[in-house]
Amino acid sequence: MAAPPLNLMHWNTNGMWIKLYELEQIIEAYGMDILLVNETGLKPQHRLHIHNYENYRNDRIGAPKGVTAIIIKITIQHHRITLPPLDHIEATAISVQTGRTDIIFIAAYKPPPNPIINKDLDKLFDHQPHFLLAGDLYSKHTDWNCRQKKKAGKDL
């Protein structure tokens, strides 16, 4: 029997702490299973609790904005993936067990001044053949309907 489809969402919150009520409304209205979030701006002292959901996050200490999080229903069989250190990308990853294979979900953020480097991408994609990365990599390119091309977009 096939596993039911997952309801996924990516959200660049640009400050999750002040949008917590909005986040809870979205989860309830759309029955979200997994949310891949970037630019949370959360700090270690911010307690994030959403009923019936587990969250995994990487908080940036000593600098504003940035950081990533994954919010997932507690009823979905999963575990956190410990990523190797990355030079220019911030990321959080989990593995979700499905009937046939595991799928890696990655929430990623690359601050604007940082370059895209193959070494970081290789580290992110080395885990499994089945993965989904969602985030803000500040990699504008006309191939994906941006008005302009940036170096990071060309590199990606």
> pLDDT tens across 67-116, in order?
899 999 999 999 999 999 999 999 999 999 887 888 999 999 998 888 88
Cα 54 from Cα 65, distance rounded (Å): 22
Evaluate whether residue 129 is within a structural domain.
Answer: yes
pLDDT of residue 3: 66
Evaluate whether residue 146 is within a structural domain.
Answer: yes
pTM of the entire predicted model? 0.89
> pLDDT tens across 39-66, in order?
888 887 888 889 999 999 988 777 767 7
Strand partners, 135: 108
pLDDT of residue 1: 55
How would residue 155 be classed by pLDDT, with cut points 50, 70 and 90?
Answer: confident
Evaluate whether residue 66 is within a structural domain.
Answer: yes
> For residue 76, with 0-12 CB atoms within 10 Å meaning exposed, 13-18 middle and 19 or more buried, which class applies?
middle
Evaluate whether residue 61 is within a structural domain.
Answer: yes
**What's the domain count of the chain?**
1
Identify the domain containing residue 126 by its residue range. 8-155
Evaluate whether residue 2 is within a structural domain.
Answer: no
Q: Can you tell me the mean pLDDT for 126-151? A: 85
* Lowest-confidence pick of 64-68, 103-107, 133-137, 149-153: 64-68
| Number of neighbouring beta carbons within 10 Å of residue 130 | 13
Evaluate whether residue 80 is within a structural domain.
Answer: yes
pLDDT of residue 2: 61
pLDDT of residue 33: 96
Evaluate whether residue 58 is within a structural domain.
Answer: yes
Residue 31: give its domain's CATH number: 3.60.10.10
Evaluate whether residue 18 is within a structural domain.
Answer: yes
